[in-house]
Structure 1
Amino acid sequence: MAVWSSLKYAVVASCAIGLTQVEGLPTAAPSAGMTEWGVADRHSLFARQQNTVIVTGAQSASPSARQVAVRKEIRQLINNRDQSEFHLFLLALRRMQNMRTDDPLSYYQIAGIHGRPYMPWAGVTAPRGTNTNTGYCTHADVLFLPWHRPYLSLFEQSLYSSAAAVVEEIRQSGNTQLHRRYNDVLPSIRLPYWDWAADASVPREVGEMPTIQVETQRGMQTIPNPLYTYRFQTNLAEFSAVQPFGSMRETYRWPSRVNTADGYMSQGAALNNAMRRLAGDLRNRAYRLLSYGDFNTVGTRVTPPGQPARDSLEGLHDTIHGTTGSGGHMSFVDNAAFDPIFWLHHANMDRLFAIWQAANPGRYTLSGSSAGTYAIPRGTQEHMNLQMPPFRSSENTFHTPAGVTRPESFGYSYVETLNQTPGNVIAAVNRLYSTGTPSGNLGTAVRAAKHKRSNMRRQDAKPADTLNTPPSADALTTVQDKVVENKKYQDWETEIKVNNAALKSSFNIHIFLGDVPSDSKTWATDKNLVGTHSIITTVDGGHMDSVVGGTVPLTSSLLNKVVAGEIKDLEKETVVPYLKKNLKVRISLPDGESSEIKSVDKLIVQIAVATVALPDSKEELPSYGKYEVQFDAVDVPKGNFGA
Structure 2
Amino acid sequence: MLSLTLRCKEPIALLLLLILFLSDRLVAVQITGALGGLNSTTGARPLRYEIHDFANSGPAFDLFILALKDLQSIDQSEELSYFQISGTGSYPGFCTHAATPFPTWHRPYVALFEQLIWQHAQDIANDYPDDQRDEYSSAAVTLRVPYWDWAVYPALPDVVAQPQISINTPAGRQTIANPLYNYVFQSDAVGNGFPLSDPMANFSETVRWWSLNTKSSNQSAATAALLANAPAIQSLTYQMFTSLANYTAFSCTWPGGQWVTANNIESIHNSIHNSIGGYGHMQFPEVAGFDPVFWLHHANVDRLFAMWQALHPDTYIEPTVNAYGSYYENVGFVDSGTTALAPFHSDGGSTLFTSDDVRSTKVFGYSYPELPDWEMGSDDLANNVRIAVNSLYNPSSNNTFSSSTKQGRRRSSSIAENFGHVSLDLARQLRVNNLNRQWSITVLVDRFPMNTSFCIDFFMGDPPEEVSAWPAAPNLVGTYAQFNPANVTMLHPNGLPEGQVRGEISMTHTLAAGVSRGVLRDLSPRTVTPLLRHALNWRARTPAGDEVPLSALSGLSISVSTRPVVPRDTTDSFPVYGAVQWLGPVTEGKPCGVPRPHVQDEF
The TM-score, its normalising length taken from structure 1, stands at: 0.80
Q: Match of 2:482, as an amino acid?
A: I
Give deviations 1:148-206, integer Å, cap 9, x for gaps.
000100111111111112223x06xxx21232221120022111111000110111220
Give per-residue Cα distances to partners, 1:481-515, cap 9 Å, x unaligned. Answer: xxx9xx97222110100012112111111111112
**Any conservation in 1 of the 2:71–2:120 contact (CA below 8 Å)?**
yes
Q: Which aligned pairs between 1:331-370 and structure 2 lie closer than 5 A? A: 331-370=283-322
Alpha-carbon offset, residue 545 of structure 1: 4.1
Query: Which residue in 2 is equivalent to 1:249?
Result: 204
Per-residue deviation, 1:63? 4.8
Preserved CA contact (<8 Å) 1:470 1:560 = no
Tell me the alpha carbon deviations over residues 46-74 of structure 1, each in whole angstroms, 9 at most, x when there is no partner: x9997121111112124534321100111
Question: Are 1:225 and 2:178 counterparts?
Answer: yes
Kept in 2: contact 1:72–1:192 (CA 8 A): yes
1:88 to 53, 58, 63: 63
Which residue number in structure 1 is paired with residue 367 of structure 2? Answer: 413
Tell me which amino acid in the other structure corresponds to 1:55. Answer: I
Q: Which residue of 2 aligns with 1:423?
A: 383
SS at match of 1:390: strand
Q: 1:271 aligns with which of 222, 228, 231?
A: 222
Whole-angstrom distance in 1 between the partners of 2:97 and 2:515: 39
Give, in whole Å, the separation in 2 of the partners of 1:241 and 1:457: 54
Match of 2:599 in 1: none
1:307 Cα offset (Å): 6.9
CA contact (8 A) 1:468 1:530 kept: no
Match runs of 1:604-619 below 5 Å: 604-619=557-572
**What amino acid is the match of 1:527?**
P
**2:371 and 2:356 mapped to 1: Cα distance?**
18
Q: 2:175 aligns to what SS in structure 1?
A: strand
CA distances 1:236-276 after superposition (whole Å, capped 9, x unpaired): 123343354232100000112467xxxx3211112112211
One of 44, 67, 70 as aligned partner of 2:44: 67
CA distance in 2, matches of 1:244, 1:146: 29
1:398, 1:229 → 2: CA distance? 31
SS in 2 for 1:493: strand
118, 121, 126: which one aligns with 1:163: 121
**Structure 1, unaligned runs of 5 or more:** 1-29, 119-133
Q: Distance in 2 between matches of 1:328 and 1:359?
A: 35
Contact 1:598/1:641, CA 8 A, preserved across alignment: no
1:106 to 81, 91, 94: 81
Provide runs of 4+ in structure 1 moved above 6 Å.
30-34, 47-50, 305-308, 461-465, 472-476, 635-639
2:227/2:423 contact within 8 Å kept: no
| Contact 1:193/1:345, CA 8 A, preserved across alignment | yes
Alignment partners' CA distance in 2, 1:541 and 1:505: 6
User: 1:188 aligned to 142, 159, 166, which one?
Assistant: 142
Per-residue CA deviations over 1:328-379 (Å, capped at 9, x if unaligned) read 0011110100000111100000000001001112122333122312222222
Specify the alignment match of 1:330 in structure 2: 282
- 1:452-601 → structure 2 map (5 Å cutoff): 456=404, 460=408, 466-467=421-422, 469=424, 489-542=436-489, 543=492, 545-601=498-554
Please give the alpha-carbon distance, in whole angstroms, between the structure 1 residues aligned to 2:156 and 2:591: 41
CA distance in 2, matches of 1:52, 1:639: 48
1:630 and 1:248 map into 2 onto residues whose CA distance is 46
- Structure 1 contact 468–531 (Cα < 8 Å) conserved: no
Paired residue type of 1:345: H
**What secondary structure, in the 3-state scheme, does the structure 2 residue paired with 1:492 have?**
strand
Larger of the two Rg values belongs to structure: 1
The residue type equivalent to 1:269 in the other structure is S
Measured against aligned partners, the alpha-carbon deviations of 1:585-635 in whole angstroms (never above 9, x if no partner) come to 111111222111111111101011112121232111112223222117668
Residue 97 of structure 1 corresponds to: 72
The 8 Å contact of residues 301 and 314 in structure 1, kept in 2 or not, is answered as yes
Supply the AA of the counterpart residue of 2:300.
N
1:422, 1:110 → 2: CA distance?
Answer: 34
- Please give the alpha-carbon distance, in whole angstroms, between the structure 2 residues aligned to 1:445 and 1:637: 33
Query: TM-score with structure 2 length normalisation?
Result: 0.86
Change (3 A) 1:32 1:591: closer
**Structure 2: distance between partners of 1:33 and 1:604:** 36
The 1:31–1:86 alpha-carbon spacing in structure 2 relative to 1, beyond 3 Å, is closer
Q: Share of identical aligned residues, percent?
A: 30
- Separation in 2, partners of 1:504, 1:75: 37
1:640–1:311 distance in 2 versus 1, CA, 3 Å:
closer
1:287 to 238, 244, 264: 238
Go from structure 1 to structure 2 and tell me whether the alpha carbon gap of 1:151 and 1:458 turns closer, same or farther (over 3 Å shift).
closer
Tell me if structure 1 keeps the 8 A contact 2:556–2:592. Answer: no
Structure 1, residues 76-108: CA drift from partner, whole Å, max 9, x if none? 12133xx21111100000111111212222111
Query: Which secondary structure does the structure 2 equivalent of 1:412 belong to?
Result: coil
**Offset, 1:302:** 0.9
Give the Cα–Cα distance (whole angstroms) in 1 for the partners of residues 554 and 218 of structure 2.
Answer: 31
> Contact 1:576–1:630 (CA<8 Å) still a contact in 2?
yes
CA contact (8 A) 1:445 1:473 kept: no
- Name the CA shift for 1:641/1:550 in 2 (closer, same or farther; >3 Å): closer
Runs (5+) with no aligned partner, structure 2: 411-417, 596-603
Aligned to 2:262: 310
Question: Aligned pair count?
Answer: 559
* Distance in 2 of aligned mates of 1:136 and 1:287: 30
- CA separation of 1:400 and 1:527: change in aligned 2, threshold 3 A: same
Matched letter for residue 613 of structure 1? V
Equivalents in 2 of 1:221, 1:457: separation in Å?
46
Residue identity matched to 2:29: V
1:607, 1:632 within 8 Å by CA — same for their partners in 2? no
Q: Give SS of 2:452's match.
A: coil
Report the residue type matching 1:252 in the other structure.
Answer: V
Q: Deviation digits for residues 435-457 of structure 1, max 9, x if unmatched?
A: 3xxxx4xx3144xx8xxxx6659
Question: What per-residue deviation string (whole Å, max 9, x for no partner) do you get for residues 203-231 of structure 1?
Answer: 12201x21222222222223221000000
CA shift in 2, pair 1:138/1:282, >3 Å: same
- Code of the residue aligned with 1:424 in structure 2: it is N
**Aligned counterpart for 2:157 among listed residues 182, 195, 203:** 203
Partner SS for 2:148: coil
1:327 aligned counterpart, secondary structure: coil
Counterparts in 2 of 1:93 and 1:562: CA distance versus 1, 3 Å: same
Query: Which residue identity lines up with residue 156 of structure 1 in the other structure?
Result: E
Task: Provide the C-alpha distance between the structure 2 equivalents of 1:101 and 1:549, rounded to a whole number of angstroms.
Answer: 37
Q: Does the CA contact (< 8 Å) of 1:597 and 1:636 recur in 2?
A: no
- Map of 1:123 onto structure 2: none
Change beyond 3 A, Cα 1:250–1:67:
same
Q: Which amino acid aligns with 1:369?
A: V
Contact 2:437 2:564 in 1 (8 A): yes
Structure 1 residues 519, 54: closer, same or farther in 2, change over 3 A?
Answer: same
